[in-house]
A = this chain, B = another copy of it.
Amino acid sequence: MTTASSQRQRAPRPVDGRPVIVVLGAGFGGLEFCKRFRGDAQVVLIDRQNHHLFQPLLYQVAMAGLSAPDVAAPIRSVLSRYARVRTHMAEVTAVDLEARTVAASDVEIEWDWLVLAPGGVTTYFGRDEWSEHALGLKTLDDALRVRSHILTSYERAENETDDEERRRLMTIVVVGGGPTGVELAGAMAELAHRVFRRDFRRIDPAESRVVLVEAEDRILGAYTPALSDSAKRQLEDLGVEVRLESRVLDVREDGVRIAGPLGVETVETRNVLWGAGVAGHPLLRAVRPAIELDRDGRAIVGDDLSLPGHSRAFVIGDAARSESSGEAVPGVAPAAIQMGRHVAKIIGRECGKDADDAERPAFRYVDKGIMATIGRRRAIAMSGPIRASGLIAWLMWLFVHLMTLVGFRNRVAVFFEWMWQYATYQRGARIIPRPEVRD
């Protein structure tokens, strides 16, 4: 087993001399790697959070439907029966591919194999100043911030005597017609028109405006045009105004300027949600020597998902730019999971041997289907030749998301919440975590 030589001080290696695999990130890809890896090595999983986050349901935390613990599972619990995996809660600040080290908080860890799975971050296409007013949705904190902001806006609207300001507080602009934007817009429309309906005395929440802004000529571009149209109609049934071929020119504290097919328009609002851009995690830029990134800051990897020239360092999940059968692999949870499994197989086979560079299989992404939910009994789905929308797609969505939630407890809790919401039109998590009366 080769290890790089270095003069720096290091964390002690395992006394038993087993090779060390460092995994960065406990998302879908990193966690799957830890569960699937079979081999005589010590696995060190590093994440800045103590929990795995089930991102596909994060928008429901933001929209007060689920509580934070419903969509998160403590990493230690999830991995407690995988004895070869050690969990380390720390922020990774540097990755050295030649010295084969990772700097995490105040300790440096040597590795023999590296799996980078840091995921993605919200990006504002170079307009970072927009982040102050346009709230992204990638972490639990993001979701709680969105929830707090929206609920506080309605509380303020209830007591606002100025008509224009009250309308601003009750207008929500969602930027980006991908799955996140569509789910947020649909859930927000239901929250305003259904859930809040009876609870306010002075305002009528049903007068809320929800505006979804998409740059392309249809939403949910990963689906067929017919399904995109169906999704648009389902959103409009909920009262969402869908603006296609519309670009955001500016985001200010009191409104969004949009260039659409009919000209430039300003939507006055105090609530802008950002579901438009995802980029590779900035940690990738801290890797030395520098690795090649694509336009969206994702690491360009080889067929086997390793970094070119560094056969023992892999990138998986949303942070990786990879191709399968000539097409770009999409940034979805099933792809990350399949990548984790693929790399677990490669390292599992090689880590017992002396030599690297055995013949490695290329990663092949198997698309089992995609689905997006829009609201109560509203969704679209496609899987192989199947195209579904409305109730059927929604039931498929419910089933798949319940079954893939990590942790039996979370499955039961979320199932209960959904049944409750379906029966009562209530939302269980309408709690503003921190007082934010005057932001």
Q: A74-B199, A77-B199, A105-B437 are in contact. Are A430 and B90 (CB under 8 A)?
A: no
The answer, yes or no, to whether A107 is at the interface (CB within 8 Å) is yes
Partner of A50, one of B77, B81, B431: B431
Q: Which of A32-87 contact B (CB under 8 A)?
A: 48-51, 67-70, 72, 74, 76-77, 80-81, 86-87
Q: A198-B80, A412-B416 are in contact. Are A91 and B437 (CB under 8 A)?
A: yes
B residues in contact with A430, CB < 8 Å: 50-51, 69, 74, 77
Partner of A159, one of B69, B88, B198, B409: B88
Tally of A interface residues using CB under 8 Å: 55
B residues in contact with A91, CB < 8 Å: 435, 437
Q: What is the CB-to-nearest-CB distance from A331 to chain B, in angstroms, rounded to a whole number?
A: 23
How many copies of this chain does one complex carry? 2
B residues in contact with A158, CB < 8 Å: 87-89
B residues in contact with A438, CB < 8 Å: 105
Q: A159-B107, A412-B416 are in contact. Are A76 and B428 (CB under 8 A)?
A: no
Partner of A74, one of B50, B68, B89, B431: B431
B residues in contact with A89, CB < 8 Å: 152, 155-156, 158-159, 437
Closest to A104 in B: B159
Q: Which of A399-439 contact B (CB under 8 A)?
A: 409-410, 412-413, 416-417, 420, 424, 426, 428-435, 437-438
Q: What is the CB-to-nearest-CB distance from A429 to chain B, in angstroms, rounded to a whole number?
A: 4
In the complex, the 7 A-B pairs of residues with the closest C-beta atoms, listed nearest first? A76-B199, A67-B67, A74-B430, A89-B155, A69-B429, A67-B69, A50-B432
**Can you name 15 extra interface pairs (CB under 8 A) apart from A76-B200, A87-B158, A141-B433?**
A50-B155, A67-B70, A68-B431, A69-B429, A72-B431, A74-B431, A77-B430, A80-B198, A86-B202, A89-B152, A89-B156, A89-B158, A89-B437, A409-B426, A412-B416
